[in-house]
Structure 1
Amino acid sequence: MRSAHTVAQVRAAEEALAATLPAGALMLRAAAGLASSVTDLMAGAYGRRVLLLVGSGDNGGDAMYAAAMLARRGARVEVLAVADTVHEAGLAQLLGVGGRRVTLGEISTPDVVVDGIVGIGGRPGLRERAAEAVRAVAGVPMVAVDVPSGVDVDTGRVSGDHVSADLTVAFGTHKVAHLVEPAASSSGVVHLVDLGLELPAAAVTALQQDDIASLLPRPTADAQKYTRGVVGVRAGSRRYPGAGVLSTAGAACGLAGMVRYAGGAPEAVLAAHPEVVVGEGRVQAWVVGSGGDADAASWLRAALGDGVPLVVDADALRHLTRPLERPAILTPHAGELAAMLEVDRAEVEADQLRFARLAAGEYAATVVLKGHHTLVADPDGRVRVTTSGTPWLAVAGAGDVLGGLCGALLAAGLEPADAAAAGAWLHGAAATYASRGGPLSAPRVAAAIPGVVAELLS
């Protein structure tokens, strides 16, 4: 599991560790990790050109101590200060081993730029002097020290000018900005340098393969279809029959024992999934809403009255009242979440963590805010970020598959938060598996789920 800690948590842990170490030891530990990462990126240090952009804080100090290590390995290092003061000890160390301080007009074309402008204490946005320097090196590989300068570390928001890094070398722990969009896209690849910090539990995490494998339901030797869980699907209509087919495809991935279909497109569903039972009956979870059209409201009322957990998607989201009185997973995209909270879509896209948490609290449900890094927010404020997947997953019908998959996991006995987090991760992994780096369609995502599960369980 990747844990993303807040600035306050990290600072407290750093102060506690620094008190047990010689002065400056923690900074040197971070600098050594940074120097190693930059060397790996450049495939060596000797003869490489490195430009540092440094501000007045310790982040600039980390960068300059690391650059001094690179200079000792034969790198040619230049440092451009974008503030009136810099970390003097770090600068002295760098200049003492051949580093050179330059102005904006003096910089040569580097092999890599190191962003040491501001660290985790920086405010969103860059001052013009720093922004001008960043623009001057556009197109050169950028390594951010701890976080890309100019992003909001604790929320993932971005505003104004900021660094977009190819590689971020994070110290001690991941930060929220490394996982939550839109800042996550500005972090590039994140490499974690272990500093030995003692940290509390984090409210924002990203589950990994082992975590997902531990959540997956496994049939016992005496299992039969009813004991493994029955998932009901109310999705699809005469106007949108494909939504019923795809929701059922997700539900019929094999993680639950049986699927009942009670939507508006039974002929299409049976043609694609002859194993599905059409008609009402007892279920352990409902999936409601995709392609529901005019029936979505009545389907939602019926599912809520059944007393079992449910997944609510698409058309049914418009008919929710808050708070819900049943365990539920809601799966909106940004536009649907904006409508649920009566705000603009742009607000949701800019501040995804805040609005996912807000919706989870107001609706008393697990909210899956779908996107590049899907957020799974619980009413208690905990958020799991899904980092599996591929941009090719942005395709019609993929959300229908996700809803059915989450419903199968609910029916198999998982709690809503676990079913949503595991479902979102499997959905992304199945898309990557099916895509093989190229285009894909929603049916191929559904078809790939069993193979991904088999690999996890092996």
Structure 2
Amino acid sequence: MIRAHTAADVRTAEEPLLAAGEPLMDRAAFALATHVAAELRERGHRIPGSVILLLVGGGNNGGDALFAGSHLARRGCQVHAAVLAEHPHAAGLAAARAAGVRVHELAGAPDLNDAVTALARRAGVWVDALTGIGARAPLREPLAGLVTALAAERAASPDEPVVVAVDVPSGIGVDDGAVPGPVLPADVTVTMGAAKPGLLLPPAAALAGRVEVVDVGLEGGLAGQAPAVCRLSATDVADLWPLPGPADHKYTRGVLGVVAGSQTYPGAAVLAVAGAVRTGLGMVRYHGPEIPTSLVHARHPEVVTAPGRVQAWAIGCGIDPDDAARAQEMERGFAAGLAARVPVVLDAGGLSLVHDDAHADLPATVVLTPHAGELALLLTARGEDTTREDVDAAPARHARLAAEVTGATVLLKGPTTVVAAPDGPLYAQADATPWLATAGAGDVLAGVLGALLAGYGDALAVYAEGRLAGVPASLAAAAAYVHGRAARLAAGQGTPPRPRDVIFSVRRASHGEDDISRHTTTGQGGPISALDVAVALPAAVAGLLR
């Protein structure tokens, strides 16, 4: 699991180590230089002779870059440092000069953008150390204009340079993932001590590239601090996945009640049921009208339509709240779930059930699964005037707000799926493929999540804050992971990248990577349908457990 900590928590963890004289900057700089060298090798370039540009601001990140530049210069790289701060890190600057780094002091230069882009045009690697975790977005001038110019230069380059960000890409919201102004997108972000929330949260996560967490010795100081954001790995999800034992039968493995589909949108029922059945559980009980029922039975003859006990509900896929008969069926299922204290997934039309405060204080075992537009409607209905654009600009903040005003767990769908409960860490999962942006994919996810919750249904029926606090949110994140993994398999892209707590430790004798290998994919993949995702679910789960 990747655990992201706020800038304030990281600084607090650093203070006693710095007071004790621990060489944190030496460790960070060595790791940064090693990652830059690894990027060069991975792209087939020789390290001696490679041209590297350091974009150096003030503070410790600038010092990290300058010391890293001195290591790279000693390995034969041609290193240039564009120093853009009036008072750069003095020891780092001296070390860089001594190692042969060509220093260009450009702070206050009238032709700053032209001077830096001219240097950038000749370099194959740019090291972005313009700002650090203490900076607040958006960037101010002259850095805002410079970053805009560099991003344009990079986009126009026939052979794009590799951008390595130090700690965070300059311009992102470090703690909230906001992108309120220009940002220099990174191919890889080498972050020190712990991941920062902005590296995992949208929309900034899309600009961070691959995140590499460097162990500089902060584990002890962060051990008592709750993470702000978490991202589950394959191992985490496998640990959460309910496995059948030799004594299990269909009722003990979980029974999911599904209220989905309508005469107008019958396919949603098929997709939601497919997501549940192919994820693996004991039984699906489907409640719906004639046309979707016949389609569900044609595709899944094992589905039961008789009423009976369930351990979770999935409600709302493909249902128009203005359809009075189906709206009543949703309300009955929701009321039954609340009365039995079993988990309930509300998707699409089911979200209308919580638009007013008739259900003002829901348990966290109710999981809402909106996309940005649906979340904006829900918040507005609850008195928080919100637009889709507002949600897209700050997904994590609005997901948390929805969790607070409803009491429910909120899974906000998007390129990076955010899961929020009224308290506890956020989860941010970026495990899917852009090909997953297709009609019906959310119906499949609702089925996957419903099945997973049903597998925990008996335990969650006695859910109590303190004993199972945070479990619904972690299960929602796990469902998002498996859904994304299945989409990648269906698209021919392999499995999702494996998040790593510590990618590189400068304190290890080998100075090498840990035992988790670098993730590779099979390319960009190809188009998929929602049903393709459902079909890939058994392989996704089997690979996860293997």
Match for residue 139 of structure 2? 126
Quick check: 217-226 or 123-132, which moved more?
A: 123-132
**Cα drift, residue 287 of structure 1:** 0.7
Match for residue 474 of structure 2? 418
Match for residue 14 of structure 2? 14
**Aligned ranges for residues 401-440 of structure 1 at < 5 Å?**
401-413=444-456, 415=460, 416-436=472-492, 437-440=525-528
Match for residue 334 of structure 1? 372
Alignment of 1:142 onto 2:142 = no
Structure 1 residues without counterparts, runs of 5 or longer: none
Distance 1:299 1:16 in 2: 59
Quick check: 315-324 or 396-405, which moved more?
A: 315-324
CA deviation map 1:248-287 (0-9, x unaligned): 1111125210001102310111111111112432211111
Match of 2:304 among 273, 277, 280: 277
Contact 1:53 1:133 in 2 (8 A): no
Distance 2:97 2:401 in 1: 50
Match of 1:378 among 421, 443, 448: 421
Distance 1:395 1:438 in 2: 12
Quick check: 427-436 or 130-139, which moved more?
A: 130-139
Match of 2:288 among 263, 269, 291: 263
**Aligned ranges for residues 433-448 of structure 1 at < 5 Å?**
433-436=489-492, 437-448=525-536
Specify the SS of the correspondent of 2:94.
helix
Distance 2:326 2:136 in 1: 44
**Cα drift, residue 447 of structure 1:** 1.3
Match for residue 127 of structure 2? 114
Contact 1:150 1:158 in 2 (8 A): yes
Contact 1:357 1:381 in 2 (8 A): no
Structure 2 residues without counterparts, runs of 5 or longer: 107-111, 156-160, 381-385, 461-471, 493-524
Match for residue 182 of structure 1? 203
CA deviation map 1:35-69 (0-9, x unaligned): 00011111243101111111121111110000011
Distance 2:279 2:163 in 1: 44
Alignment of 1:303 onto 2:333 = yes
> Among the aligned pairs, what percent are the same residue?
48
**Cα drift, residue 233 of structure 1:** 0.6
1:138 partner amino acid? R
**Aligned ranges for residues 155-194 of structure 1 at < 5 Å?**
155-194=176-215
**Cα drift, residue 81 of structure 1:** 2.1
**Cα drift, residue 99 of structure 1:** 1.2
2:254 partner amino acid? G
Match for residue 465 of structure 2? none
Distance 1:17 1:207 in 2: 29
Match of 1:218 among 218, 223, 243: 243
CA deviation map 1:431-450 (0-9, x unaligned): 11111121111111111111
Shift in CA distance, 324/281, structure 1 to aligned 2, threshold 3 Å: farther
Distance 2:536 2:262 in 1: 25
Distance 1:191 1:78 in 2: 24
Distance 1:325 1:130 in 2: 46
CA deviation map 1:154-174 (0-9, x unaligned): 000011112211111011111
Quick check: 224-233 or 194-203, which moved more?
A: 194-203
**Cα drift, residue 304 of structure 1:** 2.3
Distance 1:254 1:27 in 2: 47
Distance 1:248 1:158 in 2: 38
1:111 partner amino acid? G
Alignment of 1:250 onto 2:275 = yes
Shift in CA distance, 37/296, structure 1 to aligned 2, threshold 3 Å: farther
Quick check: 394-403 or 304-313, which moved more?
A: 304-313
1:383 partner amino acid? L
**Cα drift, residue 303 of structure 1:** 1.6
**Cα drift, residue 324 of structure 1:** 4.4
Contact 2:362 2:406 in 1 (8 A): no
Contact 2:279 2:541 in 1 (8 A): no
1:335 partner amino acid? G
Contact 1:82 1:129 in 2 (8 A): no
Specify the SS of the correspondent of 2:154.
coil
Quick check: 323-332 or 236-245, which moved more?
A: 323-332
Alignment of 1:83 onto 2:171 = no
Alignment of 1:229 onto 2:272 = no
Distance 1:55 1:218 in 2: 52
Contact 2:57 2:130 in 1 (8 A): yes
CA deviation map 1:351-373 (0-9, x unaligned): 11111111111111110000111
